Structure 1
Amino acid sequence: MHNKFFIALVFSLSLISCSDNLIFSEYQSMDDGKWKMDDQVSFQFSELDSVQNHNMFINIRNDNTFEFSNLFLIAELEYPNGETIKDTLEYKMAEPDGKWLGKGLGSIKENKLWFQEKIVFPDSGVYKLSITHAMRKNGNVNGIHILNGITDVGLEIEKSTQ
């Protein structure tokens, strides 16, 4: 009985300590695990410390119907003053042997992917992040119109500890 209480206490404390630096966390679900090329996933956030460094992560949940070992995304961060930064990103999603990266039990894996490290948000107001997938099959100029296997796309912002 005491072991169960001790394990529950340690687990609770680890959750609390991990979330101390978490500033923002939000997810959007994809309809039936299908991310359409034209479907932009958007997040809005504000009220961030203008001096503190932050780390931003794009969180991707995928299932076994995801057909690729990597993922290409286009991320566009808009500042309150109208300035926009646009990045094309590539993330590894599986090992060469096909084993999924990320955490999770069962068929859903969650990947916490670095987006921006030690970023400062100097302006007060609303920031907007828009994400679209940019997947293509080798040799094809046209992108994949419906990307199967992505169940959720999320954004996390944490205070940088460095």
Structure 2
Amino acid sequence: MKVLKNSWIVVLIVILCSCGDAPLYNKSYSFKNNSWEQNVKPVFQVSVPDTTQFYTIQITIRTTTDYAFNNLWFFIHSKTPKGQTGREPVEIKIANPDGSWSGEASGTIVENTVYFRHRKFPQKGNYTFTFEQGITEQSARNVMDISFAVIKDPNQK
């Protein structure tokens, strides 16, 4: 009986220690028919409560193993609570020069993530991030989804 009680205490401690801070924001957008069309622009709206906090922005793209290129270009359009706008090009490497996957491959899915670490937001309020595919073709085929997360910087309390 005492061993069983101690086992539950160990399990409880492991569960509590494995729980980190929840992301400030974490959403995904799935593309119809696994194709990111040029006219499809996923929008993510983030409410930022603290301008002194550092954050990590995490963007994850999932493609199938049938994706035909070694990279994927897209643009991030951002809008601050006060209406200022910006546009930033981003490249995610999908495959290495030798043809191997640069991200995490599992079955027919390849997941690639890009991080923007130790970033601050200059204003409190709602930010809008719009993603626009930036390849030269009308459709980025075999792109399953895109995820956008804003996470408190783990090195700051």
TM over 0.5: yes
Q: Which amino acid aligns with 1:71?
A: L
Deviation per residue, 1:4-31 (Å, 9 max, x gap): x9xxx699668624xx262211000000
Residues in 2 aligned to 1:41 and 1:125: alpha-carbon distance in whole angstroms: 20
Residue 149 of structure 1: aligned partner: 142
- CA distance change for structure 1 residues 153 and 11 in 2, over 3 Å: closer, same or farther? farther
Task: Map 1:47-58 to 2 at 5 A.
Answer: 47-58=48-59
The answer (yes or no) to whether the contact 1:21–1:160 under 8 Å persists in 2 is no
Residues in 2 aligned to 1:37 and 1:95: alpha-carbon distance in whole angstroms: 25
- Runs of 5+ unmatched residues, structure 2: 1-6
- Runs of 5+ unmatched residues, structure 1: 136-142
TM-score, reference length from structure 2: 0.82
Deviation per residue, 1:28-58 (Å, 9 max, x gap): 0000100101211110010432210111121
Task: Map 1:19-34 to 2 at 5 A.
Answer: 20=21, 22-34=23-35
Deviation per residue, 1:94-147 (Å, 9 max, x gap): 111211122242111221212x33221232221000111111xxxxxxx21011
Residues in 1 aligned to 2:14 and 2:96: alpha-carbon distance in whole angstroms: 29
Residues in 1 aligned to 2:29 and 2:69: alpha-carbon distance in whole angstroms: 21
Structure with bigger strand share is 2
SS at match of 1:126: strand
- CA distance change for structure 1 residues 146 and 15 in 2, over 3 Å: closer, same or farther? farther
TM-score, reference length from structure 1: 0.80
Bigger Rg over Cα: 2
SS at match of 2:56: strand
- CA distance change for structure 1 residues 34 and 92 in 2, over 3 Å: closer, same or farther? same
Residues in 2 aligned to 1:52 and 1:150: alpha-carbon distance in whole angstroms: 33
- Structure 1: 4+ residue segments shifted above 3 A: 9-15
The alignment yields a C-alpha RMSD, in angstroms, of 2.4
Percent identity of equivalent pairs: 25
Cα distance, 1:76 vs. partner? Answer: 0.9
